[in-house]
Amino acid sequence: MHKPSIRIPGRALLGTAVLGLGMLLAATGCGSGGRSSLKGKVTMGGQPVTGGRLTFAPIGSGSGIPGEPASTEVQKDGTYDVGSKGAVPGKNRVAYEAPSAEWPPGVTPKPSVAPPASPFQGATVKTSEVEVKSGANTIDIELAPGKKQ
């Protein structure tokens, strides 16, 4: 009696899997995805900015998506570090978002009263485009004060 056999071409299957994995890695990048480390200090009027958020959005040249923006918190001492995610090398547009306004410790607000505005509310980045190089980068950011309302 003849047993029917199912034959899976091992080399063809393995070759297809390797090719697919290679294409996936080429499309998404390996490890850091070609990103560069980025850190620095944020100041306004020569003084450290004590909070908020920075975003570095890559600026594309031509068609295609230049990459995902990198975003990080500004620390109490004015420093920032994009961390292990890194930023896309090339020109990046920098944006600053002021921290949320908070009541001082020990103050119990009335329900209808808004908290005081952040001292950095409305501040803008003086140089809105920066060049991120391959590898490690230290880029200090200077803010211009916002208009008082």
Q: Encode pLDDT of 76-90 as tens digits.
A: 999 999 988 899 999
d(CA 70, CA 141): 15
29: tokens are: 């990048």
Residue ranges making up the domain that contains 97: 32-103+114-144
Q: Which residues contact 62 (CB under 8 A, 6 or more apart)?
A: none
CATH of the domain at 52: 2.60.40.10
Residue 14 lies in a domain: no
Residue 81 lies in a domain: yes
- Sole residue written with tokens 């292990």: 84
Q: Which residues contact 138 (CB under 8 A, 6 or more apart)?
A: 38, 39, 40
User: Could you tell me the pTM of the whole model?
Assistant: 0.70
Q: pLDDT of 8-37, one tens digit each?
A: 454 444 344 434 433 433 333 333 458 999
Q: Return the pLDDT at 4.
A: 56
Residue 24 lies in a domain: no
Q: How many domains does the chain have?
A: 1
Q: pLDDT of 44-100, one tens digit each?
A: 999 999 999 999 999 987 766 788 999 999 999 999 999 888 999 999 999 999 998
Residue 8 lies in a domain: no
